[in-house]
A and B are shown apart, each in its own frame.
Chain A
Amino acid sequence: MAIWLFVFLAVISIVSALGVVIQRNPVHCLLALVLTLLALAVMFIALDATVVGFLQIIVYAGAIMVLFLFVIWLLNLQAETGPTGGLALKFFGTIATAALVAELWMFLLRPHLKIKYVGEAAGYGSLSVLAQKLFTDYLVAFEATSILLLAAIVGAVALARRPPTQRESAPGSLS
């Protein structure tokens, strides 16, 4: 990955990540998040993780973000007016975040991070190699993931479904 590409993508992702936190309209937050995800996907592809990068675009920036967008529309959320959180909250939030940044910075400056680049095997990042890993070394985790997804589907339907008793006479219901 060229240096200029990294700097370009890093600036885009940082600025749009700040946009997620700062924007007041949830739709604008969501669009900023999509921009962050796309910048990170390009970075994944540049780091030879081609399949994962495209999965990031399709699954994350596509499916999950559309789910968020549907919920924002369903709840009819408007831009927040008035103060968002107290001043004390912002104060302590800033202190906590600064502490976290300092800690991560101390970690990054330690010398053990200087890993020597050993080169990549043939087909690194390709779909066949990824699938081979998934169906041999990580088979149990893969099957557990399918159960997790099934549980998530059932759980999401059960949570979002309206209970039968409220179905007729719910005041202000979302029909």
Chain B
Amino acid sequence: MTFIPLTWLLGLSAALFAIGVAGVIVRRNILVMFMSIELMLNAVNLAFIALAHRLGSMDGQVIVFFVMTVAAAEAAVGLGIIISIFRNRETVHADDLTLLRW
């Protein structure tokens, strides 16, 4: 059985994380920013799974399980906030939400 070098897996994880960061910085649609956050969470999950595989330990998979649960909770609350914002302000554009800005 061939093994993928750990560096490749972690490199893919880092690349996906960087793309997610770029999405949060560049995009102004809060829904797409939220999707980029999910992308970053998944990149971290990949790093956990790769290291758990290499170390022969189940702990990384348990952590990934928890990350998924927290992501589900975060998505529910975040989308509730987005709906609430849209109802009050009629926008999902982050630049229009300047009420708390100095």
Contacts and interface: CB of A to CB of B under 8 A. Distances in A.
Do A and B belong to a common assembly?
Answer: yes
Interface of A: 1-3, 6, 10, 13-14, 17-18, 20-21, 26, 29-30, 33, 36-37, 40, 43-44, 47-49, 51-52, 55-56, 59-60, 63-64, 67-68, 71-72, 74-75, 77, 80, 84-85, 89-90, 92-94, 96-97, 100-101, 104-105, 108-109, 113-115, 117-121, 124-125, 129-130, 133-134, 137-138, 141, 145, 148-149, 151-153, 155-160, 162, 170, 172-174
A160 B22 CA distance: 29
B76 interface: yes
Contacts, number: 231
A152 B77 contact: yes
B97 interface: no
Given A17-B16, A49-B52, A124-B56, A85 B35 contact: no
B65 A134 contact: yes
Looking at chain A's contact residues, the main secondary structure is helix
B63 to A, nearest CB: 9
B92 A33 contact: no
Given A47-B50, A59-B72, A129-B58, A21 B26 contact: yes
Give the top 4 A-B pairs by smallest Cβ distance, nearest first: A152-B73, A159-B80, A93-B25, A104-B14
Contacts of A47: 9, 49-50, 53
Given A36-B16, A71-B31, A117-B54, A152 B26 contact: no
Contacts of A133: 58-59, 61-62
6 contacts: A2-B2, A18-B19, A33-B38, A59-B68, A75-B92, A104-B17
A156 B23 contact: no
Contacts of A157: 80
B61 A49 contact: yes
B71 to A, nearest CB: 7
B42 A40 contact: yes
Interface in B14-32: 14-23, 25-29, 31-32
